[in-house]
Structure 1
């Protein structure tokens, strides 16, 4: 999943110090913006402006004019820290489980990839290479988070639920490498991606990945608490 490190930071900010009031959650989000922009060398966390997407991504489907398979490499994501946050706490302070409803909204963000496009039209097959740019406008992650309160002796500390619904108002895709077909294929890909997100055809893939990542990497290693301490020290020293 391409949202690997980005999603980890965005989600952590809500609940690493569960049991505090909602204002503290917003303080953590401010801390996350600084961490994403500057990185945290002592935790081996690099800056994420931009994010370099190291995993290859692939997608297969029917775009109307042909069946295609597209493999994306060398991805770069610009604008991650430029979010706007709204959130509500859905559980009482002191309860065993801590829950939030949230929305992360971006006015705009951009992504770029190198691609290999395999096109199957009737008996013809072609493989072409080029560059893809995606310009997102008015896009949002809306969802729910639930985590077990830290420090309870009889309950395992973990993320119990992470639900994320990704929507986008406008998505502009541009391609190089296809000659006269740059425009038609870019339009078809943009429409397919936009409809797939807005019609909820991707399910909870992002949320499931975030829950897995947090439980296996951040919580089990104690890295989440180191990030918490770093944020607290930053808050005390800079009064941000």
Structure 2
């Protein structure tokens, strides 16, 4: 799943060879390059932008029940992070690496076709259209604890905490039948920005599980490290 692969790379780059901050920054730069150009031999497509062709379902319960089904999603801005801070907490002699980090993403743009079913009391209305979400000044702050290679315990991420904040959301929706675009945009703006303004753990929980399952425990993460070393001047 492309979104899972993106998540894996973003979290991994902060920690591989984390005994040296210079190495961590070099690997972060390399992973950013890998996301921009893609690594076909590792089944890692370019994320500049990300094309996601599977359906995404979204349900929300406010004054009405909203059920969205998204198709043909395209997301830009994923490889454009900037390192605000990486601070090593553990000692080089420890069997695990612990970092605090802060990454900023200037802007995420997500565009999708959608189908929407709205249930208000006993009435149902169906809509179709296109949706663009522009999320400005994103910041991921958190910490990670990962077992270093060549230890007696399995190589895995032991803990991953990420808090996601965004400064502003601009939703643009064009729906048929017409007349509800402003309402849908207001609902999205309120719901998403309210969620991001609260302490949230869903990103860290999601990434920890998928990183361990899809990249760490099977050793695939080190193939990406090798690719970085072999393609230094690309």
TM-score, structure 1 as length reference: 0.90
Measured after TM superposition, the shift of residue 136 of structure 1 is 0.9
Measured after TM superposition, the shift of residue 131 of structure 1 is 0.8
Measured after TM superposition, the shift of residue 156 of structure 1 is 1.5
Say if 2:86 is the partner of 1:91. Answer: no
- Residues 110-149 of structure 1 aligned to structure 2 (within 5 Å): 110-149=109-148
Q: Out of 114-123 and 51-60, give the one that drifted further.
A: 51-60
User: What is the alpha-carbon root mean square deviation over aligned residues?
Assistant: 1.8
Say if 2:183 is the partner of 1:181. Answer: no
The answer to whether the 8 A contact 1:88-1:101 is kept is yes
Tell me what 1:56 maps to.
55
Measured after TM superposition, the shift of residue 2 of structure 1 is 8.0
Tell me what 1:5 maps to.
5
Tell me what 1:17 maps to.
17
Measured after TM superposition, the shift of residue 3 of structure 1 is 3.9
Q: Which of residues 69, 85, 109 is equivalent to 2:67?
A: 69
The answer to whether the 8 A contact 1:137-1:168 is kept is yes
Q: Which of residues 210, 220, 225 is equivalent to 2:222?
A: 225
Q: Distance in 2 between matches of 1:16 and 1:24?
A: 8
Tell me what 1:195 maps to.
194
Q: Distance in 1 between matches of 2:127 and 2:160?
A: 38
What secondary structure does 2:230 align onto? helix
The answer to whether the 8 A contact 1:2-1:55 is kept is no
The answer to whether the 8 A contact 2:49-2:78 is kept is yes
Q: Distance in 2 between matches of 1:2 and 1:144?
A: 24
The answer to whether the 8 A contact 1:56-1:73 is kept is yes
Measured after TM superposition, the shift of residue 62 of structure 1 is 3.2
The answer to whether the 8 A contact 1:166-1:197 is kept is yes
Tell me what 1:33 maps to.
32
Q: Distance in 2 between matches of 1:143 and 1:3?
A: 20
Q: Distance in 1 between matches of 2:3 and 2:157?
A: 18
- How has the CA–CA distance of structure 1 residues 104 and 98 changed in structure 2, closer, same or farther, with 3 Å as cutoff? same
Give CA deviations for 1:125-149 in whole Å, capped at 9, x if unaligned: 1111111100011111111111001
Q: Which of residues 202, 207, 230 is equivalent to 1:205?
A: 202
Unaligned residue ranges in structure 2 (runs of 5+): none
Measured after TM superposition, the shift of residue 92 of structure 1 is 0.9
- How has the CA–CA distance of structure 1 residues 120 and 14 changed in structure 2, closer, same or farther, with 3 Å as cutoff? same
- How has the CA–CA distance of structure 1 residues 198 and 12 changed in structure 2, closer, same or farther, with 3 Å as cutoff? same
Unaligned residue ranges in structure 1 (runs of 5+): none
TM-score, structure 2 as length reference: 0.92
What secondary structure does 1:157 align onto? coil
What secondary structure does 2:231 align onto? helix
What secondary structure does 1:15 align onto? coil
What secondary structure does 1:14 align onto? coil
